[in-house]
Amino acid sequence: MMRQYLDIKEANPDCILFFRLGDFYEMFFEDAKTASRELEITLTGRDCGLPERAPMCGVPFHAADNYVARLVEKGYKVAICEQVEDPSASKGIVKRDVVRIVTPGTILEGNTIQEGKNNYIVSITSVNEQYGLSLCDVTTGEWLVTELANTEGEHKLLDELAKFAPVECMLDEVTFTETKLKDTLKDRFNAVVEMIPAHVLDRDLSEKLLLSHFNILSLDGIGLSQHPACILAASSLLNYLKETQKNELSHLSHISYYNVNEFMLLDSSTRRNLELTETLREKKRKGSLLHVLDHTHTAMGARYLRKCVEQPLIHKDAINDRLEATSELKDNVFLREELKDYLNAIYDIERLVGKISYGTCNAKDLIALKQSLGVLPDIYTSLENASSPLLKGLYEKFDLLSDLFERIDVAIIEEPPISLREGGLIKTGYNSDIDELRQIKTHGTNWLCEVEAKEKEKTGIKNLKIKYNKVFGYFLEVTNSYSNLVPDYFIRKQTLSNCERYITEDLKTIEEKILGADEKLQALEYTLFTELRDFIASHMDRLLRMSGVIASLDMLCSLATAAEVNNYVKPLIDDSDCIDIQDGRHPVVENIIGHHQFIANDVYLDQADHQINLITGPNMAGKSTFMRQTALIVLMAQIGSFVPATSAHIGVVDRIFTRVGASDDLASGQSTFMVEMMEVSNILHHATQKSLLILDEIGRGTSTIDGLSIAWAIIEHIANPNKLGAKTLFATHYHELTELADTIPSLKNYCIQVKEMGETIIFLHKIIPGSVDHSYGIQVANLAGLPKEVLDRAHEIMDSIEQASSRDLRDVVQTSSKTVPLIETAKQIAVEPVVSAVPEQLDLFVSHTESEIVKTLENLDIMDITPLQAMQILYDLKKKIKA
């Protein structure tokens, strides 16, 4: 047996081998040490012909799923090794082999599989400057492929993968060895990353594998003939799944090519900043947009809603179709509530189909499927009078699947056991042989009672009992007090301390009939169950199509419920360049603090007079919330959801970019400012006039003059329709930027309304036209709880700076008699007022009598330079004065 184990382990060196021995999966040697440590189970030993005992540990086979899931969650692969022949029919050691390898991307059960989230595995190949992506969720049968240009680097690829958050990734050799992609995938998605063997990526073999799997003559039939990178990605993924899952993967019956430009493009930064599916800090679902919108009643609907949030639409007609359906379900309360009741009764059909395909389903799974199919006629009837195009389309796609329902209904009892090998699965009347064998079992019990009664009367042994165990079968038990009455035809089988056990010829004859019938009955019931399972598996396409219909219906009901519960309104969607939101609210924040406490705000953007809204105001006053809510309202509208506002007119945007907050990327040695600049660079290179930009505090990670100059230049670039011309919300503490409204007609100034009460300020969270020239930094520091002596000193320094506009901050603090730590604190608090003092220094420059500076100013044509150039000239003049 240990030689058999070592041979199988040698064939699967990268896996922890679960080796089936009786009712346990055993692990040996290093696998045992690893499993014992990771699963916190006892490590024992076993003699195996070696000088030392082999380390060993094990888990019960009926509880193995959870142990496997825990190992996979920790990044291990687990090979499941089973007996592959009947022990009673084998000679010598029972043949064993690996029946499945469980990996993060192929696990079917356990806590790692979330109902409302897909579990994707991805294969990535690079061919002719194209990345090929093949994504699959083996639990649901979803299989997607697409292509991306790799000439732009890895950013676009990572942005696309962020939609799916794969848990397992395979890369071709070039991508694996020559790029940083594998490290990024591990860090960003916590994914297991492996290299695709070179021999798998042969074009001819890849095509043959796909043609064979789909049973087609040409790849035109699945839309891949013109996508060589996709062919290699799809075939390498299929090859890996066949090798690890050891079955035909019949539920992967359809592969879909999609174009990344069919949906709104959202980069990784934007997804994180807008907290679409999880919160930024705690990575929790509660507090995300998905949490607010999710009122689904099925796992399929929850997964589909997540996809819709991750992939907003960009085609006006498709968006309006969803909005019409959502509107009908919102207004027709009776229909919505009726559908919700029916949807509550539907199990996860997609994953049930996956288990049926794998051959891992039990009778309870088939009953769950039957109950799900049983409500389809009611849903079909409810949709009969639907008027919106999308709901009518779902009604027309309906397949009642009544043949599958009836087949399960007549075959499987309502409450079957979990085990498939112990009988009790099949209904009486389904099969005549089963009925006959059950009669024998029933009569056998009567026969045993008759034998017991007859022997009691015949022998006079009043406490004689017929009992059973697996060693002797049925036997007669006689206590020692009646041993003198035992007749000669009783055959002794066992002597115990207080009794003797016997058999008789009659008892053995009855035993053979009963036990033979029981074994035959269990085998026949299992055979009939597998036939039924295979019949259902042959209709997988129908089941998966209907699961898609149910998911769509559930998603629409969820959006309608969210609209009703949260008092959302239907947006007007068109292809204009306008974003006009009245009384907009942040969907997540108002969900937390309450609808009546949230301060609503308007926003208007277009590409003519209101292309850029420049927003000033103190920290904590609500600038970031306002900008995020605008982005979320646009995104929700393009999902097909109603939005938190009193009215909203949304011209479809192709992308939303956000640059809100940043942190040091210490692993790659990048500072906050570098991260910020890289994100801004990505935005300026990839945004279009149809994009929406959310930019917060650009330039704050460097010196004041550098940051102001960069922010100024960025605004000019965005405002220029020949360079970008995107609709933009731009929040800043650089108050000098508000003067750009005089030179950029499409820029409008807005600010956060603040009420001052002495040294205290109250944030009114209202966006109003205009600008502020004060950051209220010290007041905010006061609210944050800084020590009073620090605040008092900050006021002194700020007063000194404002009075000594001709001296820089260094001159001021060097004349201070206070301690260095206090000076450093004051520098941080006073940084904003320093910016305010810069324009006042112009008086000094203008009054200077040195001929060189005067000449420079006299020759300066202020109408022929940009604001950035003007600032640089002033900066140079100031340096000359100090020199």
Supply 375's token pair. 């409500």
Beta strands 572-574 and 499-503 are: unpaired
Supply 129's token pair. 């400057």
Angle between helices 820-829 and 788-803 (to 10 degrees): 70
Determine if residue 624 is labeled as part of a ligand binding site.
yes
Determine if residue 619 is labeled as part of a ligand binding site.
yes
CA distance 416 to 420: 9
Determine if residue 218 is labeled as part of a ligand binding site.
no
Long-range Cβ contact pairs of 270-275 (< 8 A, separation 24 or more): 270/631, 270/656, 270/657, 270/658, 271/162, 271/310, 273/628, 273/658, 273/659, 273/660, 273/661, 273/694, 274/628, 274/631, 274/632, 274/635, 274/656, 274/658, 275/588
Kindly write down the DSSP assignment for every residue of 521-563, as one continuous string. HHHHHHHHHHHHHHHHHTTHHHHHHHHHHHHHHHHHHHHHHHH
Determine if residue 618 is labeled as part of a ligand binding site.
yes
Unique residue bearing structure tokens 């995300």: 288
b/e sequence 538-576, b meaning 16+ C-beta within 10 Å: ebbeebbebbbbbbbbbbbbbbbbbbbebebebbbbeee
Angle between helices 402-411 and 363-374 (to 10 degrees): 140
CA distance 230 to 134: 7
Determine if residue 165 is labeled as part of a ligand binding site.
no
CA distance 72 to 611: 50
Unique residue bearing structure tokens 């605008």: 630
CA distance 840 to 843: 6
Per-residue HEC secondary structure of 338-406 comes to HHHHHHCCCCCHHHHHHHHHHCCCCHHHHHHHHHHHHCHHHHHHHHHHCCCHHHHHHHHCCCCCHHHHH
Determine if residue 134 is labeled as part of a ligand binding site.
no
Determine if residue 118 is labeled as part of a ligand binding site.
no
Those residues with Cβ within 8 angstroms of residue 868's Cβ, 6 or more apart along the chain or in another chain: 709, 712, 713, 716
Helix (H, G, I), strand (E, B) or coil at 148: strand
Unique residue bearing structure tokens 């003519």: 608
Those residues with Cβ within 8 angstroms of residue 833's Cβ, 6 or more apart along the chain or in another chain: 775, 777, 798, 801, 802
Kindly write down the DSSP assignment for every residue of 430-452, as one continuous string. S-HHHHHHHHHHHHHHHHHHHHH
Query: What's the start-to-end Cα distance of the chain, in Å?
Result: 89
Determine if residue 617 is labeled as part of a ligand binding site.
yes
What single-letter amino acid sits at 42? Answer: T
CA distance 353 to 356: 5
CA distance 188 to 161: 10
Closest CA to 27 of 89, 105, 92, 81: 81
Q: Which DSSP category does 227 fall into? A: -
Supply 449's token pair. 């009672």
Task: Specify binding-site residues.
Answer: 617-624
Task: Specify binding-site residues for ATP.
Answer: 617-624
